[in-house]
């Protein structure tokens, strides 16, 4: 039940009549595929609504049986029964919403908008059920006297807190208001994400004059030609998708085109049909009301109560302290690029659309290193095998392609994951290339989490990572940039967290942990990308088979902290903006652009460009789960920098250290508080200075 609630308190979902309610439905039938994998080759769009209808009806019946149980409340008949109530709905929604993110269409989006209010109504009917909450409270009140194991106690505590934090203690005359807030928030979140996707897809830079390709490497020219061909256009097309935009901004010599693309990206959803101006303000307004109803002064106070940080003050101090220590290095980085740009033909001030271009040239000149030199060594298939090999070295995992198990799109590949003894650990789904129906960015998710079902049978997880990497062209395979290599490692770290979960109850399984802890398993994996011992073991030229030269590896290591101050402040800017929105006590009267500009003024190290803002397309906080939580990336960076020091001291493939990391963090899910799990691994609390040391941001 709580797995479902976690998903839909953020996404939330109308039942409609459907002529095909009686048809055979693979979403409702037990899968005949290995490990109970979803039968994506049989699932059709028209299956979803009947499946939602049936699963909701069954879930309501399961809740009613708990509420109407004449026996006194016990862990088994209340807490455990709640854990498994709505399991069918968890399965159906887990499939639908993951596919809707990665391979949507107009019909899928319409279903999401239709089902959202009903899913929210369903979850609220549980969380605001006084009789049900009374049973939970009775078990919770006897916690110390009941003969329960640690995981049973943890499940009871979290179940009680989940009710309390989602309105169970709200006065009866205001519960309907709370439910309506949740319903509207779920729809607004969907609308925000749809607007961002539509705005991203709506823009293209169409070039028909080859002279306008000046500076672009052959791979970017080929990708532009392939994109144009796919749209039945002549010439070359560049989009706001990262694999298309990123090389264009790095290498295009045509400043006016760089400016055009930068402005398009940074004015996304500010006006027009895809405007999120009113959506942002309404989401903020509803979150303020939600916090007030729950007894909190600010929305951030509500969110942070359940995080490692615990309080708004702690997060604000954390961000501001890092900002003060990072700004001198960021300003130094910008001055360095400004001086270089002026010395190489730029007249006047460095603008945002200039920074990446000149920084790339400067890095190339200083380190004799650029993405085009590295990409031949980073063929996607080779990188993936190297990531699999790292999982084998650290945790004894093997990945075998499962060609008999279908994915939800032809690009998706499925792998059977086993441990050193041959035990099945997970199914791993990989989905790497952009398409119109996929949102931008990269993420890990699960179609099913690890845990034991109500009959005591273990269900191993169905884990997926979704990315938007450079597509193969007619002439060359998908060759990754170094950033894309680290992205794959990052998302695979999340995947490992899910694969290696070893808990009893699905709602406590990894990666269902505190949001400022969940990035530790992902971000720590990025460290291996700059370790010579690791790179030298697999990075080979895709044409010649030549191992990456030591000199090139040395340049990667030497340049890893290039512009680290600039990058740090950029991330802090997002975190500070997030906190500004979610510490409000009333909706600002000024525009979203004005509010954002003022909120992040202390972070500005580049000129502010009127008519641009990132908040209207800031999906992490307005369509994802990072509201009042974007700081967690930096928080987790402190954890991973401190944790990786132990690997550095003992050996980056040290099985004792990796075994401890698996035992104390990856496998434990949410069975204990995150700070306890970290101390169990490290033997102490993390040292904040570890991050600044790692980034080379310590005055010498």
User: Annotated active-site positions, please?
Assistant: 491
CB-based contacts of 663: which residues, under 8 Å, 6+ apart? none
Torsion of CA 173, 174, 178, 179, to 10 degrees: 10
> Are the CB atoms for 281 and 590 separated by under 8 Å?
no
Neighbours of 441 (CB within 10 A): 16
Pairwise CA distance, residues 117 & 184, whole Å: 8
Nearest alpha carbon to residue 572 among 604, 539, 540: 604
Please state the length of the chain.
700
> How does 338-353 read in b/e, with b if 16+ C-beta sit within 10 Å?
bebbeeeebeeebbbb
For 669, phi then psi, to 5°, come to 55, -135
Helix orientation angle between 482-499 and 380-395, rounded to the nearest 10 degrees: 40
SS3 assignment, position 501: coil
CB-based contacts of 449: which residues, under 8 Å, 6+ apart? 3, 459, 461, 498, 501, 506, 509, 512
DSSP 254-299: -HHHHHHHHHHHHTTTSSSTT--HHHHHHHHHHHHHHHHHTT-SSH
Pairwise CA distance, residues 579 & 508, whole Å: 27
Neighbours of 664 (CB within 10 A): 17
Neighbours of 204 (CB within 10 A): 17
Residue with tokens 């942002």: 280
> Are the CB atoms for 695 and 568 separated by under 8 Å?
yes
**Cα atoms found within 13 Å of the Cα of residue 417, Cβ hemisphere only:** 26
Nearest alpha carbon to residue 279 among 374, 399, 196: 196
Q: How far apart are the first and last CA of the chain?
A: 53
Burial class of residue 590, CB neighbours in 10 A (0-12, 13-18, 19+): exposed
CA distances from 226 to 234, 258, 434 (A): 10, 20, 13
Nearest alpha carbon to residue 39 among 316, 432, 407, 423: 407
Pull the structure tokens for residue 401: 């392609």
Neighbours of 530 (CB within 10 A): 17
Cis geometry, peptide bond prior to residue 511 (ω within 30 degrees of 0): yes
The distance of Cα 639 from the centroid of its chain, to the nearest Å, equals: 18
Pairwise CA distance, residues 385 & 104, whole Å: 29
* Bridge partner residues of 236 (DSSP): 207
Q: What is the dihedral sign for C-alpha 623, 627, 629, 633? A: positive
**Cα atoms found within 13 Å of the Cα of residue 680, Cβ hemisphere only:** 17
Q: What is the dihedral sign for C-alpha 45, 47, 53, 59? A: negative
Burial class of residue 452, CB neighbours in 10 A (0-12, 13-18, 19+): middle
Nearest alpha carbon to residue 278 among 182, 191, 197, 201: 191
């Amino acid at each position: 039940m709580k797995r479902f609630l976690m998903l839909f308190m953020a996404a939330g979902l109308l039942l409609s009549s459907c002529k095909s309610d009686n048809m055979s439905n693979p979403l409702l039938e037990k899968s005949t595929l290995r490990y109970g994998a979803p039968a994506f080759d049989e699932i059709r769009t028209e299956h979803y609504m009947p499946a939602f209808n049936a699963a909701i009806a069954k879930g309501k019946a399961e809740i009613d049986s708990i509420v109407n149980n004449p026996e006194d409340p016990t862990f088994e008949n209340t807490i455990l029964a709640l854990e498994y109530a709505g399991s069918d709905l968890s399965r159906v929604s887990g499939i639908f919403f993951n596919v809707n993110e990665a391979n949507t269409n107009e019909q899928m989006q319409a279903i999401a908008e239709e089902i959202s209010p009903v899913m929210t109504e369903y979850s609220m009917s549980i969380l605001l059920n006084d009789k049900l909450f009374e049973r939970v409270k009775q078990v919770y009140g006897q916690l110390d006297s009941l003969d329960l194991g640690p995981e049973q106690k943890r499940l009871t505590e979290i179940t009680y807190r989940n009710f309390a934090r989602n309105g169970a203690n709200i006065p009866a005359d205001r519960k309907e208001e709370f439910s309506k807030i949740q319903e509207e928030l779920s729809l607004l979140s969907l609308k925000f994400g749809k607007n961002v996707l539509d705005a991203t897809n709506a823009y293209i830079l169409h070039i028909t004059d080859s002279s306008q390709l000046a500076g672009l490497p052959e791979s970017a020219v080929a990708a532009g030609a392939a994109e144009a061909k796919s749209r039945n256009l002549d010439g070359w097309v560049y989009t706001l998708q990262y694999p298309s935009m990123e090389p264009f901004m790095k290498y295009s010599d045509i400043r006016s085109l760089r400016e055009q693309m930068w402005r398009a990206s940074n004015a996304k959803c500010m006006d027009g049909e895809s405007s999120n101006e009113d959506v942002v303000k309404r989401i903020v307004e509803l979150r303020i009301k939600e916090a007030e109803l729950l007894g909190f002064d600010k929305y951030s106070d509500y969110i942070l109560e359940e995080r490692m940080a615990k309080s708004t003050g702690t997060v604000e101090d954390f961000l501001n302290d890092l900002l003060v220590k990072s700004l001198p290095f960021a300003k130094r980085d910008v001055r360095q690029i400004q001086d270089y740009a002026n010395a190489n033909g730029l007249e006047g001030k460095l603008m945002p659309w200039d920074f990446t271009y000149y920084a790339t040239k400067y890095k190339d000149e200083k380190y004799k290193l650029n993405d085009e030199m590295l990409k031949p060594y980073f063929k996607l298939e080779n990188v993936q095998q190297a990531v699999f090999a790292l999982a084998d070295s650290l945790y004894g995992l093997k990945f075998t392609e499962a060609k008999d198990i279908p994915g939800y799109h032809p690009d998706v590949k499925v792998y059977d994951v086993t441990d050193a003894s041959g035990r099945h650990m997970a199914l791993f789904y990989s989905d790497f290339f952009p398409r119109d129906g996929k949102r931008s960015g990269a993420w890990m998710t699960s179609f099913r989490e690890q845990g034991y079902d109500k009959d005591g049978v273990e269900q191993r997880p169905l884990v997926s990572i979704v990315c938007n990497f450079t597509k193969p062209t007619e002439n060359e395979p998908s060759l990754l940039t170094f950033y894309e290599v680290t992205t794959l490692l990052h998302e695979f770290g999340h995947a490992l967290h899910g694969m290696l979960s070893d808990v009893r109850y699905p709602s406590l399984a990894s990666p269902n942990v505190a949001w400022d802890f969940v990035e530790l398993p992902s971000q720590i994996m990025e460290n291996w990308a700059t370790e010579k011992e690791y790179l030298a073991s697999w990075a080979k030229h895709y044409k010649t088979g030549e191992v990456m030269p030591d000199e090139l590896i040395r340049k990667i290591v030497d340049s890893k902290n290039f512009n680290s101050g600039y990058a740090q402040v950029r991330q802090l800017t997002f975190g500070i903006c997030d906190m500004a929105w979610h510490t409000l006590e009333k909706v600002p009267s000024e525009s979203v652009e004005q509010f954002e500009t003022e909120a992040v003024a202390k972070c500005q190290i580049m000129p502010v460009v009127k008519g641009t803002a990132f908040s209207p397309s800031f999906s992490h906080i307005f369509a994802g789960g990072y509201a009042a939580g974007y700081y967690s990336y930096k928080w987790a960076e402190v954890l991973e920098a401190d944790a990786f020091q132990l690997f550095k001291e003992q050996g980056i493939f040290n099985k004792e250290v990796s075994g401890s990391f698996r035992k104390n963090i990856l496998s434990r899910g949410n069975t204990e508080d995150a700070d306890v799990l970290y101390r169990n691994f490290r033997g102490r609390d993390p040292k904040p200075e570890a991050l600044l040391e790692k980034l080379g941001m310590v005055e010498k």
